[in-house]
Amino acid sequence: GGNSDTPWTAEGDPRVTPFGRILRKLHIDELPQAANILRGDLSLVGPRPEQPAYVSALADAIPFYDYRHLVKPGLTGWAQINLGYTSDAEGAREKLQYEFYYLRNQSLPFDLRIVILTLRSLVALRKAR
């Protein structure tokens, strides 16, 4: 378990296990989340889940932040396609705009588009290595 008082995960973060470092290096650190999808705790597409300690702080700082919880969290989402990972409240505020767009436009074709764009992004990352 990690320390929830620590900022978002960064390079050299002591909370990342040796196995986790290997998964990150291979850009498959989200692969263990497949079990959460199979259990029904996580959707393939939706707003990325956030650490509980950050949720209350972000909800206090950003109006309507809790609206992102109207849908099940996902492994990938519109915000990840457009912004990637963010590491501060300002990034979370910007990401929320993409999540609201997703909430307003959620559909099977849009989800398929997000999955295809995610796969393209993963292929591009592998080719860049």
61 within domain boundaries:
yes
Domain that holds residue 94: 43-128
Q: What is the pLDDT of residues 33-67, one digit of tens each?
A: 888 899 999 999 999 888 787 888 888 888 888 88
Task: Report the alpha-carbon angle 84-96-35, nearest 5.
Answer: 60
Q: What is the pLDDT of residues 78-128, one digit of tens each?
A: 998 998 777 777 888 899 999 999 999 999 999 999 999 999 988 887 777
- Name the pTM for this structure: 0.70
Query: How many domains does the chain divide into?
Result: 1
Q: What is the pLDDT of residues 8-39, one digit of tens each?
A: 566 666 777 777 777 666 556 667 788 889 99
94 within domain boundaries:
yes
The helix/strand/coil state of 44 is strand
57 within domain boundaries:
yes
